[in-house]
Amino acid sequence: MSFDQIAEFLQALDGADHHFTWKHFPKRAQGGWSIVRLVPAIEQAIRSVHDVDKMNMELFFPMAYLRQTLNYLFFFLIDPDNDQKEVTHHTVLDAFDRNGFKKVMLSYCKGKAPAVDHQEATQ
Ranges of beta strands (E only) in the chain are none
Number of domains making up the chain: 1
Mean pLDDT to the nearest integer, 77-89: 90
Is there a domain that residue 50 lies in? Answer: yes
Is there a domain that residue 37 lies in? Answer: yes
Tell whether the model's pLDDT for residue 77 goes beyond 70. Answer: yes
Is there a domain that residue 115 lies in? Answer: no
- Choose the most confident range, by mean pLDDT, from 38-42, 108-112, 119-123: 38-42
Is there a domain that residue 38 lies in? Answer: yes
For residue 40, give the amino acid letter: P
Distances (CA, A) of 60 to 44, 52, 108: 13, 11, 12
Is there a domain that residue 45 lies in? Answer: yes
Biggest CA pair distance of the chain: 72
Distance linking the first and last C-alpha atoms of the chain: 49
Average pLDDT, the chain: 82
SS3 77: helix
DSSP-assigned letter for residue 122:
H
Containing domain of residue 12, as a range?
3-104
121 vs 11, more confident:
11
